[in-house]
Chain A
Amino acid sequence: MTRATILVVEDEADIRRFLRSSLGAEGYRVVESPNGRRGTLDAGMHRPDLAIVDLGLPDFDGVEVIRRIREWSPMPIVVLSARVQERAKIEALDAGADDYVTKPFGVGELLARVRAALRHATRPAGKALSIGEVAIDFEKRRADRNGTPVHLTPVEFRLLACLAQHLDMVVTHRQLLTEVWGPTHVSDTHYLRVYMKQLREKLEADPVQPKHLLTETGVGYRLVSET
């Protein structure tokens, strides 16, 4: 397998350095851009397999970089955000970013996000999926838990399928509501709360402390395959 190229758009030189060394140690080729303008150009020039974009860039907004890349490329994008940038983070995800990591972060977390996003880009969701005790068959629209069929309503199944399509990646409230209930329901967050609870009760051993159907506070949900 050829080495994947990762574009890092980040203004802080120290953060670029540790990203370069840890991504390099994992075998990725790294292209670095110190600002948004440069990053947008580099994305076109180097055609990376994935971009890591900081939301606090000096020249223009990281969200703008994402929009410009999205005009021509579906490459996976992971954003780096500070804790005070809650809203910018959601904006970035709705503008087309695939996932995020909040600063300060451990490199393990970042690498997990990068791997999930690359996997998603190269190997789209299959017809069946097995997560912990649960097996899902998308074609037959059925789910089994420990070999026993679990009855899911059509809406519950659509919600689960939508999360599974982005396995291990975050899906925002807006994305879920649009895909499951339609664009007129983007602010009906209470639908999600109620249906996620039902899904967890049917699929998780401990619905309050789920292992796979995780809440991303204030952002959305994430279905994780490994714990």
Chain B
Amino acid sequence: MGYAWAAGAIVASTLVGLAMTPRFDLVNIAMVYLLAVVLIALRFARGPTIAASVLGVAAFDYFFVHPAGTFHVDDPQYLLTFGMMLAVGLIVSHLTEAVRKRARAQAALALEAETERVRSALLASISHDLRTPLAVISGASSSLAQRGERLGADERRALALDIFARSNEMAELVDKVLQMTRLESSAMQLERDWDSLGEIAGSVLRRLRERLANHLVMVELPAGLPLVRVDTTLIEQVLTNLMENAARHTPPRTLIRLRAQHLGGELRVSVEDFGPGLAAGDLERVFDKFNHGAAGGVGLGLSICRAIVSLHQGRIWAEALPGGGSAFRFTLPVETPPAIPAEALAR
């Protein structure tokens, strides 16, 4: 590519030079070639620059230096011109290369600093979120171990249940971090298969039974929703995070509505809540990593959702609902599944 440009630049310079003869001195024509060499040096690496210099010298010699039409040189002072042209080309090429290198290093450094900042924010967040359950676990288990015989059966049971609940909380957090890391690695491969949103919703609601127990959950899935080809585990995670979020950020006894619609070649899934809602500025920001909600938590949930949905070529966004509350919606592309052989319905 660079070599083609070098050749092109020299051809152009030759044409300009031919137009200039005989009104201009040979020295000025040499300047035209020099300009071409400098331009090539600024734009491309050393190779094309040397090529441009050599071609330039050759063309200058052949077309302009007496005797024209040969590579023979009568006046030895043109040898100096050739040398100069080559030297200037190399120096400019060297300088631009150095500047380019430094710019690249700075960009890499900035990226590294950003990655580092994100990573330490993540670590700080995680260790903060792990510390509370850990404190409960070590406190409760040590009192069971050392004071167990002095505690009533109910108290022992309560302590053991605390340990169980808190360790599950930690396991979930660790899973989320692992998942985020996996989603961000370029090696992430979706394992897509046909699935129905009804089934995914069903297992999410089952998994979150206890956490949704204090809310009113309404499910609106119209009959005849198409199947989608998705990585089931991941889409289930998206819906789990959205439902969990809705439960965490809204007061008990309020409604959470899970809906799906088939709209213009897409499946649109919505989780709507009737809590305090989001500020306009937060609608986009909630999907950022470590955006701590009011109730704490690493705030990885929604950024995981965004990563998963975009891997599926879908979109995800938040909307403020009129009259308070917020809606989180995502889309999944709809394809036609292969036909299922019709079954004779006779008994």
Contact = CB atoms under 8 A, between A and B. Distances in A.
Interface stretch (A63-71, A123-131, A209-217): A209-217
A58 to B, nearest CB: 21
A155 B171 contact: no
Contact of A196 (B178, B191, B199, B338): B199
A153 B171 contact: no
B284 interface: no
A44 B195 CA distance: 41
Contacts of A215: 199, 202-203
Interface residues of B, number: 32
Interface stretch (B61-69, B127-135, B304-312, B339-347): B339-347
B167 interface: yes
B175 A83 contact: yes
A218 B195 CA distance: 10
B306 to A, nearest CB: 21
Nearest to A173: B193
A194 interface: yes
Contacts of B168: 104
Interface string A148-171: 000101110000000000000000
A217 B233 contact: yes
Interface string A181-219: 000000011110110110000000001111000110110
A84 B167 CA distance: 17
A189 B171 contact: no
Interface in B173-214: 175, 178, 191, 193-196, 198-203, 205-206
A84 B178 CA distance: 9
Given A153-B345, A207-B198, A208-B219, A190 B337 contact: yes
B201 A208 contact: yes
B53 interface: no
B141 to A, nearest CB: 13
A104 B236 contact: no
Contacts of A218: 191, 232-233
B343 A154 contact: yes
A207 B227 CA distance: 16
A20 to B, nearest CB: 18
Considering the complex of A and B, which 8 residue pairs feature the smallest CB-CB distances, nearest first? A190-B194, A190-B337, A193-B196, A215-B203, A218-B233, A189-B193, A104-B171, A189-B194
Interface of A: 83-84, 86, 104, 106, 151, 153-155, 188-191, 193-194, 196-197, 207-210, 214-215, 217-218
27 contacts: A84-B178, A86-B233, A104-B168, A104-B171, A153-B343, A154-B343, A154-B347, A188-B340, A189-B195, A190-B337, A190-B338, A190-B340, A191-B340, A193-B194, A193-B199, A194-B196, A194-B227, A208-B198, A208-B201, A208-B202, A208-B205, A208-B219, A209-B202, A210-B202, A214-B206, A215-B203, A217-B232
